[in-house]
Structure 1
């Protein structure tokens, strides 16, 4: 374990007395606002925690796990959390759930709060801002206090941690081939979750399938939060689209709704496959064919892996679990044409 920063270390760095540092951190009225600001900024930069707290991290177990997800409204992350809570409860652990809302700053605050809450380990799917910026210093802090991290779904290769995911590249390739085998000739990829690792992997899988089929790949970044009805209609018409692979469940539902609004029939005119086997896609009319990412299983395996790591049941090197996804066939695709 890395030697933690002490009060005396901070005082030496700042050129002031340890008592002044202590008073500044405790918001004493004896200390000026300028000095307090300077002390707190350096404490954050050097990842300082009170000595008694840091020692507590080293020797105690709290049977508590921290969880950080980018969103709670997403069916995928809701199902992951269901798996996490169920497995953690089964194994005698409590969980603290934090939501980053795709914000790097909120994610940093969550990491800091979980360290101070003395969690035994952290389960994490990083925010879009973290993945886009690769600002990952905060994700290295827990390790300094003996707190392991397990990442799930969205992964950052630069972080040394156990990782749980599906093979997004392969699954996107297989889904694209499913559309092509069903008779689609102009398949596009609609991306609604830019700057995430899973989206980039799915793009690569889609492009690989199109290249292997000698077809032209077209990736379209779509934002349904804006009024893009006319733009969407022109995209469909100009590209003669008859097949769509989408990046996530919300984008799938929004795409299907707009396809129907533009007067096309699903799957007669346009077939659609998306990612995440959630309730929105299942209950949409027509019901939507999807890649089941095994969300609940990812949560369960993430918890088991983290506890195995805490109990020294795993090798020193980080491990990676890759789950096999499957395509759930529903009404938004035609039956694939099987070669005789």
Structure 2
């Protein structure tokens, strides 16, 4: 592997010229840039990011903290973040909070010790429940933070999410327009801001259509560990013609449950949940779903953070970006 000094010697130019050419400096001619980059590629030159970071006070690394790595939604968001950061020459380091505030605080401290330039975070369930975000506001400058999906009004920074209330309102309204009257609501995330917003949208559509809300048609389960038993009992006791699942797992579980206990009625029950194309294929028949466009959420979060980090004036108004979700009915 070659060095800047070796490249400069072979090209009979200064080390400074080689460095500027590799970084597309405006005061270097296109001919020189071409010569430098051609030789650098031929000699497999790899820039020393640590050294560059020390010189310009930037590590070109972004810290990402998510609450659950097993959730396919967060995996898709990570894909979008990494893709966008990579295109801009940034690396990403990912940490998992496991839904715990203490771990979230520890991961922030860990990433800061490694001198990341900024943070992209989706809040842990415990942090949302307690409302205590001091471990974030005390450690991360607001201009170096983007929150996605799970947000907090107590943190003033750039944010990216889907308009959860609007999309569940639209879905419920479309189900009503299609003639479904007994629409149930199923959720394992009512403790989160996204779950609460989705429930509000559902109730709003029922209220506008003058459909009486039936408490028995709503099932909230806090843990997936006991969901099978509760789901089966609830499905056996209640009659509904449609179900809106507020997360990306309970809808699939219900579809499979109904095939077991109500095989002849299942085809007449419309189920729609938050999911993606791949997960929708896990049920038969294929489940209707709301695609949050998770990859685009990740890309947008990265764009907002990198734009602010690369801006000469970081202190401009914060952006609350809404990514458009798409409804898929089959």
TM-score normalised by the shorter chain: which range applies? Answer: 0.7 to 0.9
Is 1:325 equivalent to 2:325 in the alignment? yes
Q: What's the CA shift for 1:256?
A: 1.2
C-alpha contact (below 8 Å) 1:190/1:220 kept by paired residues:
yes
CA distance 1:274–1:148, shift in 2 (3 Å)? same
Is 1:124 equivalent to 2:133 in the alignment? no
CA distance 1:181–1:110, shift in 2 (3 Å)? same
Aligned to 1:334: none
C-alpha contact (below 8 Å) 1:266/1:286 kept by paired residues:
no
The DSSP-based 3-state class of the residue aligned with 1:96 is strand
* RMSD after superposition: 2.2
Aligned to 1:106: 103
The DSSP-based 3-state class of the residue aligned with 2:267 is coil
- Give CA-to-partner distance per residue, 1:251-278, whole Å, 9 cap, x none: 1111211121212457533210101215
Separation in 2, partners of 1:69, 1:102: 8
CA distance 1:233–1:193, shift in 2 (3 Å)? same
Aligned to 2:153: 157
With normalisation by structure 1, the TM-score equals 0.75
After superposition, residues 328-339 of structure 1 pair within 5 angstroms as: 328-330=328-330
Q: What's the CA shift for 1:97?
A: 0.1
Gaps of 5+ in 2: 1-52
Aligned to 1:75: 72
Aligned to 1:138: 135
Separation in 2, partners of 1:280, 1:100: 24
C-alpha contact (below 8 Å) 1:189/1:246 kept by paired residues:
yes
C-alpha contact (below 8 Å) 1:65/1:95 kept by paired residues:
yes
Aligned to 2:289: 290
C-alpha contact (below 8 Å) 1:249/1:278 kept by paired residues:
no
Q: What's the CA shift for 1:173?
A: 0.7
The DSSP-based 3-state class of the residue aligned with 1:195 is coil
CA distance 1:161–1:265, shift in 2 (3 Å)? farther
Separation in 1, partners of 2:277, 2:68: 15
Separation in 1, partners of 2:157, 2:219: 32
Aligned to 1:211: 207
The DSSP-based 3-state class of the residue aligned with 1:272 is strand
1:197 alignment partner, one of 193, 197, 202: 193
Is 1:66 equivalent to 2:63 in the alignment? yes
Worse overlay, 252-261 or 151-160: 252-261
CA distance 1:307–1:227, shift in 2 (3 Å)? closer
Worse overlay, 97-106 or 218-227: 218-227
Q: What's the CA shift for 1:139?
A: 1.0
Gaps of 5+ in 1: 1-55, 331-340
The DSSP-based 3-state class of the residue aligned with 1:178 is helix
Aligned to 1:302: 301
Worse overlay, 91-100 or 248-257: 248-257
Separation in 2, partners of 1:91, 1:124: 19
C-alpha contact (below 8 Å) 1:259/1:265 kept by paired residues:
no
CA distance 1:234–1:226, shift in 2 (3 Å)? closer
C-alpha contact (below 8 Å) 1:187/1:243 kept by paired residues:
yes
- Give CA-to-partner distance per residue, 1:6-25, whole Å, 9 cap, x none: xxxxxxxxxxxxxxxxxxxx
C-alpha contact (below 8 Å) 1:120/1:147 kept by paired residues:
no
Q: What's the CA shift for 1:128?
A: 0.6
Aligned to 1:255: 254
Worse overlay, 183-192 or 237-246: 237-246
